[in-house]
Amino acid sequence: MAAPPFAPTRGRGASSELDFESLKRLIHGKLVEKLDLSRLGDLQGDTLRREIRLVVEHLCDTENPLLNRSERERLVEEVLDETFGYGPLEILLKEQGVADIMINGPKNVFIEKNGRIQKSEVTFRDNAHLMQILDRIVSRVGRRIDETSPMVDARLADGSRVNAIIPPLALDGPSLTIRRFGSKPLGLEDLLKFGAFTPEIALLLEGAIKARLNIIISGGTGSGKTTLLNTLSGFIQNDHRIITIEDAAELQLQQPHVLRLETRPANIEGKGRVTATDLVKNALRMRPDRIVIGECRGAESLDMLQAMNTGHEGSMTTIHANTPRDAVSRLETMISMGGIELPIRALRQQFAAAVDLIIQVQRLQGGPRRLTYITEVQNMEQDQIVMQDIFLFKQDGIDEGGRAFGHFEATGIRPSFMPRLEAAGVKLPSNLFTQRALGK
């Protein structure tokens, strides 16, 4: 009698893991042979998974009855993940506290957890296995990735952002970066609990949204721009018609009247591409109360500014920049790179007339994310845009765990848009802008 392909042992070594993988592939192959695709079409969700679980458990008992309970359960779950989910990725997607998943080839998987990057024990069999999972991810959102299109942006069902790049551009095998958002977006209470800002700042932000100020959220990669945009959108009135425009849909607005638009890359023939600029222009014909662009990256920036200036107050977007002043310069650069020739003065006049507030967010050392500037855009003086800081975050030092800490301050400047807030029925405490350290 031949030895079973996987014999349970204490302290399994590398060879035992290989045997386990061989058994898993064997059972997965037999499962595919046994599946009645015509019958599966009648089953949905949990019912389908339960039916398949019974088949997998029977195959486990048939192929290797010597598996102990924990090994059998692990084998069943991994076969089900390979069949319905994203294989080894499922373990990381279910793990609490994982903010980012970074895959550098099949054997090098890293995660960011609690603000720190660490290597995971999760691996894929080989490049082909990783490509199989990647194809499953991108195909579910109507995208593709192959040698003719070796880079892709996609998303998971819970809204998490996926970027992938494959050989020949990636030299060490397929590379994936997954930015986790979770099925339940962080709310105002969560950000206050994490210390992203203070209740006083939250009052101003809520008032700014309700009074339909135009807002730009500025920050670096991973600083929390999209999370903050999602949170602030919760203050938008339920009777407003909101149109969101994104490259890969991540926003999870809770209002009942939301229309979500997503850009589309070119097909294999190089045709059919739909850009953010195309969607912004189309959105203006759809009677929106507010337009929310997930991120301004190019020529759509000018269309966004024009929308803000032509009756779509309360619109919002994000932009990659390190300071509020940098955000202005970056917008100027992106519009120029889009082939639109406008005098700098005219462009700055558009910006000063359109944008009311810039919110700067930053990921500090050790992982904490903070709102570092709340800055009002006032007007133009000669060729310069005049801006003033209303609230600031000042870093005081680094704690024993390597995490930055500090405090928020009110600068003592009362914003010039206060009459707009009062006209919208927003009442703020009289001492909200008094110069002082907040939260003390």
Indicate the SS3 state at residue 128: helix
Q: Which amino acid is at 122?
A: V
* Nearest residue to 352 via CA among 383, 377, 388, 318: 377
3-state helix, strand, coil in the chain (%, to 5): 35, 25, 40
Which pair of structure tokens corresponds to residue 85?
Answer: 């989910």
Give the chain's radius of gyration (CA, Å): 26
CB 288 within 8 A of CB 313: no
What would the DSSP string read from start to end of 123-169? --SSHHHHHHHHHHHHHTTT---BTTB-EEEEE-TTS-EEEEE-TTT
Task: Provide the pLDDT confidence category of residue 4 given band limits of 50, 70 and 90.
Answer: very low
Number of neighbouring beta carbons within 10 Å of residue 364: 18
Average pLDDT of the residues in 131-152: 86
CB atoms within 10 A of CB 80: 17
- The model carries a pTM of 0.77
Distance CA 354, CA 238 (A): 24
Q: 346: Cβ–Cβ under 8 A, 6 or more apart, which residues?
A: none
* Residues 433, 374 contacting (CB under 8 angstroms): no
Band (395; pLDDT cuts 50, 70, 90): very high
At residue 433, does pLDDT exceed 60? yes
In angstroms, rounded to a whole number, what is the distance separating the alpha carbons of residues 11 and 2? Answer: 23
Q: What are phi and psi of 162, to 5 degrees?
A: -125, 130
Give residues with Cβ within 8 angstroms of 15, minimum separation 6. Answer: none
Q: pLDDT band at 311, cuts 50/70/90? A: confident
Token pair listed for 259: 């229309």
d(Cα 109, Cα 175) in Å, to the nearest integer? 10
Intra-chain end-to-end CA distance of the chain, in Å: 76
Give the integer Cα–Cα distance in Å for 311 and 288: 9
Question: Distance between CA atoms of 183 and 164, rounded to whole angstroms?
Answer: 21
pLDDT of residue 342: 79
| Sign of the dihedral defined by the CA atoms of residues 44, 45, 47, 53, in that order | positive
Task: State the pLDDT at residue 41.
Answer: 47
What is the DSSP secondary-structure string of 43-71?
--HHHHHHHHHHHHHHHHHHH-TT--HHH
| Residue 102: predicted pLDDT | 94
- Which of 16-20, 197-201, 294-298 is modeled with the greatest confidence? 197-201
User: What is the sign, positive or negative, of the torsion defined by CA atoms of 59, 62, 64, 65?
Assistant: positive
Question: What is the band of 333 on the pLDDT scale with cuts at 50, 70, 90?
Answer: confident
| Mean residue pLDDT across the chain | 83
399 phi-psi bin (left φ>0, alpha ψ -120 to 50, beta other): beta
Helix (H, G, I), strand (E, B) or coil at 381: strand
